[in-house]
Amino acid sequence: MIDIAKILFTVILLNNIVLSQFLGVCSFLGLTTDLKNSMGMSFAVIFVMVVSSAITQPIFQYLLVPNNLEYLQTVVFILVIASAVQILEAIIKKVFPPLYKGMGIYLPLITTNCAILGIMLVNIQESYTFFESLVNGFGAGVSYMLAMFLFVGVRKKMAQAKIPAFFEGLPAALVAAAIVSVSFNGFKGVLENIFGR
Amino acid sequence: MADNKNKNTCSCACEFSKGIIKENPLLVLLLGTCPALAVTTSAWDGVGMGLAATFVLVLSNLVISLLRNIIPDRVRIPSYITIIASLVTILQLFLEAYLPDLNKSLGIFIPLITVNCIILGRAEAYANKKPVLPSIFDGLGMGVGFTIALFLIGSIREILGSGSFFNIAIPFVGGDNILQPILIFALPPGGFAIFGLLIAISNKLNAHFYARQPAELMDHEHYPGSIYDYQNTLLEAETRDAILAGGQLDGAFPQIVERKGE
């Protein structure tokens, strides 16, 4: 149980998926100008992250490893994620129309989001079990949401600030992201004290 | 560019050179930001990542350009992703065998070249409608531009953050000296800050020399997963919401109005 808690809190607070591991930076910078859109994207990411963790981990463990095909993991994972996203989109559209209205348009964008493939590869690299992969996937999604949520606020304030013309937009956003990223380093001591290292 | 006889087609030399400064994939087109932030703690890692991406980019442009008339339009993105993922697997096996140190320090960012927006973007924007030779030079130019940008970020972060350059310690820095390396530049925040500063400088130079903003250059529809692609989706969602709410924009955006009826 303590292992599960450690995985969850480490991925949410210490190894924040966007601000420390640099996965999904494109969507982070592209969508954080608006709260509603970034939350829609975050929910879609959490959802796809959990579902594809649940699919890729068994595929790797029971299909690729027994046949000595580990080197095919990149090809297999990207195809699994792409098709899972397509199928999910169709299912949600039919079964939960209100949910589709909230996050439907973000689902096609997720295939090329490196956060998903990145976390699937981390699951394999750290040789997590099935349940640990699920927790890691869920935690990564939540940490993506946390980063998005914090940064939307920062950008809202920044929109009112006077910024030199060539710094406007992304350069200023990146410098602000650096400062937000510093704050996540502060959790290092907290987590080491709780879980030990 | 003196040998460019036909004004309508760009010569191979100019295909090659445009990727380096005028359309630098990282600093002007803002593609491939993830590796640019993650693996640039040292100059050597940056160059290694750049060369790895160049390898995949040139070969994927070559293969996709050869197959451009065979792949059906509707399944082109999955086909491109499969081609790119296979090339990345080849690269990964090669690095594991011959450059294990580089492979270890780049970690999961080698397999993540598969979802790098530069490679899919160049396939969509260039290789699927141009002949083989220009596509190869386009890939090579973009790759070299990406490598140079990663080298710049990597060297700044390594010099300031670790007090060394290509793993050679700079004299009078670190150890017992008064000058100490600034650790924060080697940590994640330093990556964001240096990358932001370099983009600002490149914006300034762009406005000065070419009198244009980088965003004007981008055809976001051709770059799936790039920052502009997300911003475009965001705009689309806002317009759609506005239409659904008040209907005051009726007729102004025909293709979005169509979508409403679905």
pLDDT band at A64 (very low <50, low <70, confident <90, very high): confident
Pairwise pLDDT comparison (A183 vs B215), residue with the higher score: A183
Burial label, A160 (beta-carbon count in 10 A; 0-12, 13-18, 19+): exposed
Nearest to A26 among B192, B201, B225 (CB): B225
Nearest C-alpha neighbor of A46 from the set A121, A113, A129:
A113
Residue A77 has pLDDT above 50, yes or no: yes
CA distance A178 to chain B (A): 4
Does residue B182 sit at the A interface (CB-CB below 8 Å)? no
User: Which residues numbered 87-126 in B keep a CB inside 8 Å of some CB on A?
Assistant: 88-89, 92-93, 107-108, 111-112, 114-117, 120
Does residue B212 sit at the A interface (CB-CB below 8 Å)? no
Quick one: pLDDT at residue B222?
A: 63
The answer to which of A79-88, A133-142, B10-19 has the lowest mean pLDDT is: B10-19
Summarised one tens digit per residue, pLDDT across range A24-50 is: 888 888 888 878 878 888 888 888 889
For residue B169, the surrounding DSSP H or E stretch is strand B168-169
Question: What does chain A come to in residues?
Answer: 197
Single pTM value for the model: 0.82
Nearest to A122 among B86, B108, B120 (CB): B108
**Helix/strand/coil for B168:** strand
Quick one: pLDDT at residue B261?
A: 39
Quick one: pLDDT at residue B1?
A: 40
Summarised one tens digit per residue, pLDDT across range B20-38 is: 777 788 887 778 888 888 8
Residue A103 contacts residue B227 (beta carbons within 8 Å) = no
Nearest C-alpha neighbor of B31 from the set B119, B92, B104:
B119
Q: What is the mean pLDDT of residues A121-125?
A: 88
Residue B40 contacts residue B106 (beta carbons within 8 Å) = no
Asked if the ipTM is above 0.85, the reply is: no
Chain centroid, CA A142 distance in Å: 7
Nearest to A34 among B189, B196, B234 (CB): B234
Residue A22 contacts residue B112 (beta carbons within 8 Å) = no
Q: What is the mean pLDDT of chain A?
A: 84
Quick one: pLDDT at residue B128?
A: 81
The CA-atom distances, in angstroms, between A190 and each of A13, A132, A149, B7, B184 are 10, 22, 22, 64, 20
Residue A109 has pLDDT above 70, yes or no: yes
Chain centroid, CA B165 distance in Å: 24
Q: How far apart are CA B39 and CA B153, in angstroms?
A: 10
Q: Kindly give the parts of chain B with pLDDT less than 70.
A: 1-10, 174, 211-225, 228, 234, 237-238, 240-262
Quick one: pLDDT at residue A138?
A: 92
Q: How far apart are CA B10 and CA B208, in angstroms?
A: 24
CB contacts, 8 Å: B156 with chain A: none
Record the tokens describing residue A78, joined without a space. Answer: 């990207």
Quick one: pLDDT at residue B206?
A: 77
Percent of chain A clearing pLDDT 90 (strictly above): 7
Does residue B207 sit at the A interface (CB-CB below 8 Å)? yes
First to last CA, chain A: 16
Quick one: pLDDT at residue B240?
A: 65
Q: How far apart are CA A146 and CA A123, in angstroms?
A: 21
For residue A50, the surrounding DSSP H or E stretch is helix A35-58
